[in-house]
Amino acid sequence: MTEKELLEQLNQLKEVKPNQAWGSWLLSHILSQKSTVLTPQPQVKWAGFSFLKHYQKVLIPAFCVFLFVSSLALAQNSLPGNPFYSLKTLTQNVRLALAPQSEKPVVRLEIAQARLEDLKKTKDQEEKVASLTQTIKKDLNTIPQELKNIPQKQVALKTSQRVQEKTQNLTKLVEETNLKPAQKEELTNTVAETQNQVLALISETTEELNQCPNYLQNKLNDLQNYFVNQAQELTQWSAEDLTKVKMSLSEATNLVKAGNCLEAIEKIESINQLLQIHSLDTSSPQLEVQGVQVETSTSSTGE
């Protein structure tokens, strides 16, 4: 194909256009986004006797809110066996569902603690107590896995430390409940197991954070060699960008040496972005960094 033929074909590709109806719809949709921010003009009407209707409109929702709030208040002090206890459980579950991922283990532990407090005050109600005990066990068993699922290692470490602090008095709480000895023993073992798993996680995460994977250093070396070899092309870069690269390389090197892997990865990413903007040869050693996902694929010895 000659250049002329290629240009003719490229010219034909200009005919590619979006669907007109969609284009019109998109415009109205975008413009409507800002219009929702505008405050509506208040409408002024002659009141007449309409204040009576208005009174009704306020009373009914207010009464519903009052009912709901009262129910919630009653529920907070309820115990297993009380009809309002399911509402209390529901509010606890909603609180857990709405908690961000990094906070879920702590919230779950606090809820388990609150439920143990409820068990302390409950007498009889064997069936309800047994069911609640199983729920508490399940929650405690879930906490270590939730901690492991937190992607950012530093956040996971802090949350784990908070969980570990809060589990200190759980064993005592279990002892103070009115559970049967066998149930107490089971729950105590679950608490101990959870504590052990959390401690192990703290230890593992601390070790991981203090050792950057070797490949980070290798990638840094590759980047440095690359910039040395491409010195001629770099003359087209602005002085500002060249300074940025030098500083980022130097900072990344220091961060890797200090074991601050996450910050080092961010610096390398900023160098990659500059490379992309200047669109040098793609044989350059751009590091595909996926943040903490990279960390989770490495062994704890930081290979």
Partner 1 sequence: MTEQEFTALYQKNLDKVFRFIYFKVDSPETAQDLTSQVFLKFWQNNQPVKNPQAFLFQTARNQVIDFYRQKDKTPVSLEELQEQGQEIPQPSFAVQIELSFELENLKKALRRIKNEYSEVIIWYYLDDLSVKEIAEILNKRENNVRVLLHRALETLKKEVNEKNSV
Instruction: Check residue 97 for interaction with partner 1 (CB under 8 A).
Output: no
Q: Which of 27, 67, 73, 200 binds partner 1 (CB under 8 A)?
A: 27
- DSSP assignment string, 201-219: HHHHHHHHHHS--HHHHHH
- The residue range among 6-14, 55-63, 103-111, 204-212 that interacts with partner 1, by the rule CB under 8 A, is 6-14
**Tokens linked to 36:** 């929702």
Site string for partner 1, 199-238 (x = CB under 8 A): -------------------------------------x--
Secondary structure of 225-281 in HEC code, one letter for each residue: HHHHHCCCHHHHCCHHHHHHHHHHHHHHHHHHHHCCHHHHHHHHHHHHHHHHHHCCC
Secondary structure of 21-57 in HEC code, one letter for each residue: HHHHHHHHHHHHHHHCCCCCCCCCCCCCCHHHHHHHH
Output 7 or 239, the one with its CB closest to partner 1: 7
Q: Which of residues 162-181 bind partner 1 (CB under 8 A)?
A: none
Q: Which of 13, 44, 231, 239 binds partner 1 (CB under 8 A)?
A: 13
- The residue range among 26-34, 72-80, 139-147, 163-171 that interacts with partner 1, by the rule CB under 8 A, is 26-34
- What separation in angstroms does the CA of 269 have from each of 16, 90, 168, 266, 274? 35, 44, 41, 5, 9
- The residue range among 27-35, 166-174, 197-205, 242-250 that interacts with partner 1, by the rule CB under 8 A, is 27-35
What value does the CA radius of gyration of the chain take, rounded to a whole number of Å? 31
CB of 282 to partner 1, least distance (A): 6
CB of 290 to partner 1, least distance (A): 8
Secondary structure of 116-156 in HEC code, one letter for each residue: HHHHHHCCCCHHHHHHHHHHHHHHHHHHHHHHHCCCCHHHH
Q: How many residues does the chain have?
A: 303
CB of 219 to partner 1, least distance (A): 17
Q: Which of residues 274-293 bind partner 1 (CB under 8 A)?
A: 276-277, 279, 282
- The residue range among 29-37, 96-104, 206-214, 218-226 that interacts with partner 1, by the rule CB under 8 A, is 29-37
Output 197 or 286, the one with its CB closest to partner 1: 286
Q: Would you give the distance in Å from CA 218 to the centre of its chain?
A: 30
- The residue range among 18-26, 55-63, 80-88, 215-223 that interacts with partner 1, by the rule CB under 8 A, is 18-26
> Which residues would be at the binding site for partner 1 (CB under 8 A)?
1, 3, 6-7, 9-20, 22-23, 26-27, 29-31, 33-34, 236, 276-277, 279, 282
